[in-house]
Chains A and B, each alone.
Chain A
Amino acid sequence: KAGVTQTPRYLIKTRGQQVTLSCSPISGHRSVSWYQQTPGQGLQFLFEYFSETQRNKGNFPGRFSGRQFSNSRSEMNVSTLELGDSALYLCASSLATHDLTEAFFGQGTRLTVV
């Protein structure tokens, strides 16, 4: 079956702009998590959605937001982009009902802020 699909794969934005990234989970998976990966900080948890509700949130500023639709697809938005937001943004999907099951990652969206 199809894996986790993230679009677009690459993005270049200017400081101050905003950006929206999309994630389609594996069919049947209702949980979507987002992560930021940078060389300096590694993989850091942004937030997790299950059945359109945000259940968990990492330590990122309010400029980072997300949502999940009824078909489990999720979007992540970053407003007022800063140079430090340049990173690989990854989403992971899982079946997870009330706790953890295996999380499968997409290929990521590489965001460059100039």
Chain B
Amino acid sequence: QKEVEQDPGPLSVPEGAIVSLNCTYSNSAFQYFMWYRQYSRKGPELLMYTYSSGNKEDGRFTAQVDKSSKYISLFIRDSQPSDSATYLCAASGGYNKLIFGAGTRLAVHP
């Protein structure tokens, strides 16, 4: 079993939809959680960074962490075609060792 599990999709939604992306993790020692967006042939771009449980909002993006259920979520409101990318969740294993999920490929069609 991988330490961070993520459904690879693909996920296809119409423009304007609310997108929900989810991951689960198994290591209760993880304290930091991140969401990255990766366009084709590019490096991952940091979207959201949260510590422990709770919500964090940044524009159209909301990240949620529920440590009791070991569940990580990213919500995208009013999705745009430019949001089409692969979304990677990650958890920290200490000293900048990030454990990544497989990534979910998202397509937002006009």
Contacts and interface: CB of A to CB of B under 8 A. Distances in A.
Interface of A: 4, 6, 31, 33, 35, 42-45, 48, 50, 55-56, 58, 90, 92, 94, 96, 99-100, 102-108
Given A42-B100, A42-B103, A99 B42 contact: no
B44 A100 contact: no
A29 to B, nearest CB: 10
Given A56-B94, A100-B92, A100-B94, A45 B99 contact: yes
A48 B97 contact: yes
Nearest to B49: A102
24 contacts: A31-B96, A35-B98, A35-B100, A42-B100, A43-B44, A43-B90, A43-B98, A43-B100, A43-B103, A45-B98, A56-B97, A90-B43, A96-B96, A99-B92, A100-B96, A102-B49, A103-B34, A105-B44, A105-B45, A105-B46, A106-B43, A107-B42, A107-B43, A108-B42
Contacts of A96: 95-96
Interface of chain A, helix or strand or loop or mixed? strand
Given A33-B97, A50-B95, A50-B96, 8 more contacts: A43-B90, A43-B100, A90-B43, A96-B96, A99-B94, A100-B95, A100-B96, A105-B45
Contacts of A50: 95-96
B8 to A, nearest CB: 9
A104 B46 CA distance: 6
Given A42-B101, A42-B103, A102 B46 contact: yes
Contacts of A106: 43
B61 interface: no
Interface in B52-107: 88, 90, 92-103
Contacts of A43: 44, 88, 90, 98, 100, 103
B95 A42 contact: no
A103 B96 contact: yes
B97 A45 contact: yes
